[in-house]
Amino acid sequence: MKVNNELRKYIEENIFPEYSKNESGHSLSHIKYVIERSFQLVKENNLDVNLDMVYTIAAFHDIGHHIDSKTHEIISADIMYKDDNLKNYFTGEELITIKEAIEDHRASSKEDPRSIYGKIVSSADRNNTVEDCLRRTYTYGKKLSPDATDEELFLRAYDVLVNKFGENGYAKFYFKDSVYEKFLKDLRTLLSNKNNYIQTQKEYIKQLKKENKI
């Protein structure tokens, strides 16, 4: 999907490098994933939206994660809104919509996003492979509790995923997405047996360590 070339160039050269400050679960590879997923959702659901806005929201949504993970959505939105270069590409009203979408993207938010743009990035920000869940819950848990044992991290990860993606989990989805539906079915099957989940994550993390991927 076509995005303004100058906008893309500015973000790739000035915003993407900032993601080297984040831990691996919120690194540049994650941002590129969210951008791609955002465009997939737009296409699959034939959404009438401004693609430059969709791209910018996804590009900025985690930029402040290394500053404070608990309020990163507010920090990230503020960083975007103070970027005067973006005034070359968006109106004041569009910048407010972008800001609100970034603020609204967290799955744990009790309120629905205020616009379709917030719903797109919130949906695109979800994992869509079991392997990604196994990796991200481990690496993020390790960042929060660096002295924890792997067994403690696996137990934490299980509780986090059940709370988020279980039958009564808080993760919301706003659009048709066949990829996500398959992922959710596979993950819930794995989570149905706690011991099997822990053993699966243990083996996967062991393999990633062996390959120096975490």
Q: Quick one: pLDDT at residue 98?
A: 98
Q: Does residue 107 or residue 149 have the better pLDDT?
A: 149
Token pair for 181: 């539906």
3-state SS, one letter per residue, for 111-129: CCCCCHHHHHHHHHCCCCC
Q: Which of 49-63, 90-104, 161-175, 198-212 has the lowest mean pLDDT?
A: 161-175
Which has the minimum average pLDDT: 47-51, 73-77, 84-88, 141-145? 141-145
**What mean pLDDT is predicted for residues 12-40?**
94
pLDDT at 126: 84
Report the percent of the chain where pLDDT is more than 90.
Answer: 83
